[in-house]
Structure 1
Amino acid sequence: MPMYVTSMVFLVSGSLVCLISSLLCLSGGGSYFIEWDIVSVNSSCVVMTLILDWMSFMFLSFVMFISSMVLYYSGEYMYGDYNMNRFMYLVLAFVMSMGFLIISPNLISILLGWDGLGLVSYALVIYYQNEKSANAGMLTALSNRVGDVAILLGVGLMFSMGGWNFLFYVDGGLSGNSAGMVCGLVVLAAMTKSAQIPFSAWLPAAMAAPTPVSALVHSSTLVTAGVYLLIRFSPALEGSMSKTLLLLISALTMFMAGLGANFEYDLKKIIALSTLSQLGVMMSILSLGYADLAFFHLLAHALFKALLFMCAGAVIHSVKDYQDIRMMGGLVYHMPLTGMCMNLANLALCGTPFLAGFYSKDMILEVAFMSSINMVGFVLYVLATGLTVCYTMRLVYYSLTGEFNLGNLYSVGDEASIMTNPMMALACGAVFGGAFLSWLIFPCPYMICMTLGFKTLALIVSLIGGLIGYMLNMVVVGYSLSALKLYKTSVFSGSMWFMPFLSTLGVSSKTLKLGMSYQLVGDKGWFEYYGGQGVYSVVMKGSKGTQVLQDNSLKVYMLSFLFWLIVLFFITI
């Protein structure tokens, strides 16, 4: 039996077990906290900790289900690859790292999953061993390294509190300077992992990985790790200054990603930017204090985003490996099943009523409009919602409808059942997942009191955005060069506000030059003169003098005797 089938069966079984365990914990209200003492340092015990409650079980269930579908899908997508087994083992290591992170309520044990995700993601991004993949992998690894350092600094600061199990501290609220710094460091780590401004450049760059990896990364593993960490840490953020800053940054990320996706032509990068926008939604509602809503949207988003990437992979696989949406068009006639699933995922992403995205996204928007949000946050929420539907309709126009632009010698179709079967399973999740989760997580519904204008605002903005996204590309951009009149604005908006440049050439070149001069002046200069080599020369000269004294030479003794006589003479005078 092929490896992709055995791993799929294993992960589906694990997903069912975790889902049943989650339902039992929800009905019984219990959880399991398991702890092993490893070593004790100054009365602080370094422990390996696991927490098994309804939240960790449910997230594990979704991660296993999506990864099983992705692995089965990879059986066809990666067919003929020389390193197929290596790819499968890397994906399984990726899932295992995410599992460690999900069940760890301890900053030390969480490093197992946190660093594991960073290491395996680098190996997967550089899988296609070319220069572009190497650059993307290095940008991904170095950007995430900032968050790793923040977690390590948090581990050091929590040493003064007597332990690293943050669940014991967050319920009562953290207090003191160290606690505030720990909160800030955890927020910084979550921002790097979930690619918030100014760390957003690595997320579209990570599209150099194979498409099944993108489906896994952008739905339930790497980018959601930061959100999940903040969900666990959310009680400690109450009253923290980090919350206000996080709200502004996440709202700006949401707007920036939606704006950039409207200028992008790479199919995978458009979907990556939509992930970035939805991560901004999760982070913003977290900063307003609604961790349960953020978790709800995290799970609902995982279902339809994995489906969207799988559909994109099926399209790319069929159209001669092109990723430019201008080279597609009219695919709904040639790939009706993939087109249907892609439309379903897109509609769920836009928050179409009664699909998975509607239950979480609509509630997030309504709760945000009800809360004490400022005008800047409100406007960014509204604009980001409209832009989401705008770039979605633009993607539908260029790829699924319109004229067929692929040219001759094509073979486009839905014949590969190994790719379409997992897509159908996730399509069911995109339709029923939102209602199922809302019944489980919110047995008592939120009380939402709003005026008719605010209640219908999300729907009106979505309709306007969809109309603009479809009509503008069909009428203006498609048949003229009007966009060149606003060339500088287009470049600024389409380049993620120059963040890829600042993250690579801007920061790296300046940092490397500064590091080189520091090495020449410091490590190879003054530090060497007054450090290792300087101490070495002083010790060598002293040892030579000592050696001369130990030779029992009469000349030396006579000279030293005369020297001390002269010194004594001058002292007595």
Structure 2
Amino acid sequence: MCLYVYIYLFSMSLLSFIFMIYFIMNNLVIFFEWELISFNSISFVMSILLDWMSLLFMMFVLMISSVVIYYSKSYMSSDLNLFRFIILVILFVFSMILLIVSPNIVSILLGWDGLGLVSYCLVIYYQNVKSYNAGMLTALSNRIGDVLILMVISWMLNYGSWNYVFYMDFMKNDFVMVFIGVMIILASMTKSAQIPFSSWLPAAMAAPTPVSALVHSSTLVTAGVYLLIRFNLLIMKVFFIKILLLMGMMTMFMAGISANYEYDLKKIIALSTLSQLGLMMSILSMGFPDLAFFHLLTHAMFKALLFMCAGVIIHTMNNIQDIRYMGGISLYLPLTCLCLNISNMALCGVPFLAGFYSKDLILEMVSFSSLNMLVFFFYYISTGLTVYYTFRLLMYLLITDLNLLSVYNLYDEDYVMLKSMFVLLMMSMISGSFLSWVIFYYPYMVYLSFNLKMMVIYVSLLGGLLGFFISSVNIYSVNKFIMSYNLSNFLCLMWFMPSLSTYGLNYYFLNFGQNLLKVVDLGWSELYTGQGIMSLLKSSSFYNLFHSNSLKVYLFSFVIWMMVIMYMLFLNII
């Protein structure tokens, strides 16, 4: 089944690519409206918007999901419920596509809520306490965004339609529509895990690795960025956009530092995703939606490949995720390490790989913009931290000695996984240049001084050197964290955000909801409605006579009714 789904989704991806080329060459936009029901002059319509952006994004989502499903054929082969897993992944992809092609805020909510619901089912797929807690944290964090989208739906009733594309040009000059802009920004911050909603993203690593590859590359976490790109004309007029810039930079910085303190392989890559999402959000808030979309697509390719490589390593290491047990893997898994190195270099922005074209252009536009030094330093320090934790990861995985004490059998002969990874390997190398030709009609040329132009190279080399030195310290003889234990604890735990989200928000809100249920729904509202009336009737003797189910009572009542009927008939006859 996995093979058939892979072929179907991959062919749909190629079809979407062909349509995208045709649309972009002819500057086409197609808008479908299908009236589902019309009642009292109120029309419920299903709308679909097809333009070059939605078709290009759909092509990437379908390609990555097809490769991930083919990869799952081997990775999830021991699972007894593989069919259920594939159905859940297909539902997830369908929800994302519904979100991509929707010009209507109601159908956006359907895709948005579908992503949240199916992601909960996938995070708790391995049914244990840790997975359930992670799934609940993910679902409740995303519910905040769902509520905000519902508020936008109710507010847009003032305009008579929910098709936001028709009102973009009008709404940006309307002061009242600032409310919609703020709600959309906050909803996107929850779905794309910006501070203070960041803690659910590393927790979602409880899902199977193929799901992580799909969720953290092109579907769930990028939904917020994509929604802001679509609403770009509106949000640029909103005062809240500067707060989004600050939150995006703080997310980028926080995730970069936390990844350097983390030892879980999947969480390091998840924090890397969080850092790149902060980069997309902040460059979007500076007024460059095309650059944010460009980086979103290039990042999707190498991040999906990175997760799939991590899945192969975890699979062969007998489900061990701690990088301190790994080492020298390049001797045993050469093809996997080839894919891992190329995807890591694309993440660092090594020239002529996918990440270089978007990240270099973003950093040059930041240097060119007239923002303050805080923004400048946040961007470049976060870029250095990216190279820092990447080199640290490579040192632990590939160069040091293997620290597994048991007998091991590592081999690189799972050709289903390798073939699926090689598709993304090619895209990680060529998608940057391909997308730069497609998205930008003319090449950007940013004129800067020599040192500013070389600043990307400087911080990358510095970050790589620091990563090499910090991972060379023998962690068993000299513990580099023991001298600053409290600071290390603060940085390792994402600035205590998981505790804040779990105990500060979710626990108290859920506890309040439970008390409200006891007092209101199961309390006085029941007492004065259904339950109260029933208890009043039960206490009356008349009700008890019939409720006792006695034959004598029914016979007595039958005789009384017959006498009444006979008397009425007698009166009628007279």
Which residue is equivalent to 1:559? none
Q: CA deviation at 1:20?
A: 0.6
1:44·1:162 contact (CA, 8 Å) conserved in 2?
no
Q: CA deviation at 1:166?
A: 1.1
Which residue is equivalent to 1:290? 288
Amino acid at match of 2:117: L
The TM-score normalised by the length of structure 2 is 0.90
Structure 1 Cα separation of the partners of residues 138 and 360 of structure 2: 32
Which residue is equivalent to 2:227? 229
Structure 2 Cα separation of the partners of residues 531 and 518 of structure 1: 17
Which residue is equivalent to 1:322? 320
Which residue is equivalent to 2:569? none
CA 1:96–1:516 in 2, change beyond 3 Å: closer, same or farther? closer
Which 4+ stretches in 1 moved above 3 angstroms?
Answer: 38-46, 175-178, 476-479, 512-540
Alignment of 1:28-67 (within 5 A): 28-39=26-37, 45-67=43-65
Q: Secondary structure at the match of 2:358?
A: helix
1:37·1:45 contact (CA, 8 Å) conserved in 2?
yes
How much is the aligned-residue C-alpha RMSD, in angstroms?
2.2
1:155·1:164 contact (CA, 8 Å) conserved in 2?
yes
2:171·2:177 contact (CA, 8 Å) conserved in 1?
no
Q: CA deviation at 1:239?
A: 2.1
1:169·1:236 contact (CA, 8 Å) conserved in 2?
no
Q: CA deviation at 1:407?
A: 2.4
Amino acid at match of 1:419: M
1:502 to 470, 488, 500: 500
Structure 2 Cα separation of the partners of residues 19 and 528 of structure 1: 58
2:401 to 403, 425, 445: 403
2:140·2:506 contact (CA, 8 Å) conserved in 1?
no
Which residue is equivalent to 1:169? 167
Amino acid at match of 1:398: Y
Which residue is equivalent to 2:552? none
Alignment of 1:273-422 (within 5 A): 273-422=271-420
1:329·1:398 contact (CA, 8 Å) conserved in 2?
yes
Q: CA deviation at 1:177?
A: 4.5
The alignment status of 1:448 with 2:446, answered yes or no, reads yes
The CA deviation string for residues 98-131 of structure 1, in whole angstroms up to 9 with x for no partner, is 1111100110111221111111111111111111
Q: Secondary structure at the match of 1:281?
A: helix
2:229·2:289 contact (CA, 8 Å) conserved in 1?
yes
The CA deviation string for residues 242-291 of structure 1, in whole angstroms up to 9 with x for no partner, is 21111011110111111110111000000000000001111111101111
Which residue is equivalent to 1:102? 100
The TM-score normalised by the length of structure 1 is 0.90
Which residue is equivalent to 1:246? 244
Amino acid at match of 2:243: L
Which residue is equivalent to 1:462? 460
Structure 2 Cα separation of the partners of residues 456 and 43 of structure 1: 62
Amino acid at match of 1:77: Y
The CA deviation string for residues 464-502 of structure 1, in whole angstroms up to 9 with x for no partner, is 011101111213656412311101111110101111111
CA 1:243–1:478 in 2, change beyond 3 Å: closer, same or farther? farther
Which residue is equivalent to 1:563? none
Structure 2 Cα separation of the partners of residues 62 and 479 of structure 1: 46
> Structure 2 regions of 5+ residues with no counterpart?
539-574
Q: CA deviation at 1:173?
A: 4.5
The CA deviation string for residues 386-425 of structure 1, in whole angstroms up to 9 with x for no partner, is 1111111111111111111122321112110000111111
The CA deviation string for residues 32-90 of structure 1, in whole angstroms up to 9 with x for no partner, is 11012335688664321101111111111111111111111111101121001111111
Structure 1 Cα separation of the partners of residues 457 and 41 of structure 2: 57
Q: Secondary structure at the match of 2:269?
A: helix
Which residue is equivalent to 2:571? none
1:390·1:467 contact (CA, 8 Å) conserved in 2?
yes
Structure 2 Cα separation of the partners of residues 425 and 521 of structure 1: 57
Structure 2 Cα separation of the partners of residues 238 and 508 of structure 1: 32
> Structure 1 regions of 5+ residues with no counterpart?
541-573
Q: Percent identity?
A: 54
Aligned residue pairs: how many? 540
